[in-house]
């Protein structure tokens, strides 16, 4: 065989491009997983804020369910489930999927006002 042909057979130019194209779906999946984790954390944070607002309202004699609902942004209020038991309030907020908007789980947070 010709020496030039043998050199081209062993040549690896373009190999990095092929490997990058093969890794792009994995990189996209990793990015999507990070976004979903951030969305789940944000949902938990919203539920915790609402539970604390409800507990504060219960401490001062207000309506804990109204206070908890008002602490949530309007876009998540329709999916929330609130339960008050004395000075304790439980907030259940669905965790939505980043893609498709389906429900992946529920963030459940309970807060209570200390007994005086």
Query: Which value, to the nearest 10 degrees, does the dihedral of the CA atoms of residues 84, 77, 63, 44 take?
Result: 50
Question: What's the pLDDT at 10?
Answer: 60
pLDDT at 11 over 70: no
- Tens digit of each residue's pLDDT (9 = 90 or more) over 13-56: 777 788 888 889 999 999 999 999 999 999 999 999 999 999 99
Tokens of 93: 């907020």
Question: What's the pLDDT at 95?
Answer: 93
Share of the chain above pLDDT 90, in %: 60
Question: What's the pLDDT at 99?
Answer: 87
**Considering its fold, how many domains does the chain have in total?**
1
Place of tokens 């200390």: 114
pTM score, two decimals? Answer: 0.77
Structural domain harbouring 40: 3-112
Place of tokens 């929330």: 80
Higher per-residue confidence, 10 vs 26: 26
Distance CA 109, CA 62 (A): 20
């Amino acid at each position: 065989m010709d020496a030039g042909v043998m050199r081209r057979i062993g040549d690896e130019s373009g190999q990095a491009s092929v490997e990058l194209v093969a890794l792009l779906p994995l990189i996209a999946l990793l990015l999507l997983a990070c976004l979903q984790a951030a969305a789940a954390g944000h949902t938990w944070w919203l539920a915790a804020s609402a539970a604390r607002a409800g507990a504060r309202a219960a401490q001062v004699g207000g309506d804990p369910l109204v206070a908890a609902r008002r602490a949530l942004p309007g876009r998540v209020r329709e999916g929330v489930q609130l339960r008050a038991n004395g000075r304790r309030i439980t907030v259940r907020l669905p965790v939505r999927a980043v893609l498709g908007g389906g429900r992946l789980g529920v963030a459940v947070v309970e807060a209570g006002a200390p007994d005086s």
